[in-house]
Amino acid sequence: MLQHCIPVIQKEEQSDRERWQHLADLADFALAMKVTLMNINYQSFNNFMLRIGLNKGGVLAGVIGARKPHYDIWGNTVNVASRMESTGVMGNIQVVEDCYNILKEYGFRFVRRGPIFVKGKGELLTYFLKGRDKQGSFINGSSVTLPHQVVDS
């Protein structure tokens, strides 16, 4: 019997910091959206407000529709993120405890909202994302100060 072995090349182990960098980037983006909307409101004499919900986890994604196809995502992660938005408070970014535990290690600041009832999940401990103390870093090692970040001079 002839056997052929194909070596399995495993992806290098990522540090927790590298593993969750995309979540920190998303949180930075959400905070920057709030600042951008504030500037738009100031310049246009409007009072538009955002209510944002964040969650982490796996999703299922694909193109659906035969007549008018579009890309969509599904899953528990999406449902909880949607509930974070719909049960949130206008002008705030609400996250579940898992996101809070990860993002606080990146220098993000939070206010504990407390437990809220989430349909299909029961009581979940939630936090409002308020800002970030440290600069964000990108893959190439460069860093950019975003409008919501506090930088020591």
The CATH number for 87's domain is: 3.30.70.1230
Residue 34 lies in a domain: yes
Residue 106 lies in a domain: yes
Residue 117 lies in a domain: yes
Mark whether 83 is an active-site residue. yes
Helices (H), the chain: 16-19, 21-44, 76-86, 97-103
Are 111 and 130 in contact by the 8 Å Cβ rule? The answer is yes
Residue 113 lies in a domain: yes
Residue 150 lies in a domain: no
Which two structure tokens, joined as six digits, stand for 74? 């599904």
Mean pLDDT by 10 residues, the chain (153 residues): 48 79 96 94 94 95 94 94 95 97 96 95 96 64 55 49
φ, ψ for residue 96, nearest 5 deg: -80, 170
Name the active-site residue from 83, 130, 132, 134. Answer: 83
pTM score: 0.77
Residue 151 lies in a domain: no
Residue 35 lies in a domain: yes
CA distance 5 to 76: 38
Mark whether 113 is an active-site residue. no
| Residue 55 lies in domain | 17-144
Structure confidence at residue 61 (pLDDT): 93
Name the active-site residue from 119, 121, 130, 134. Answer: 119
Structure confidence at residue 11 (pLDDT): 58
Matching residue, tokens 């990146």: 106
Residue 32 lies in a domain: yes
Structure confidence at residue 3 (pLDDT): 45
Q: How many domains is the chain partitioned into structurally? A: 1
Structure confidence at residue 140 (pLDDT): 45
Structure confidence at residue 146 (pLDDT): 59
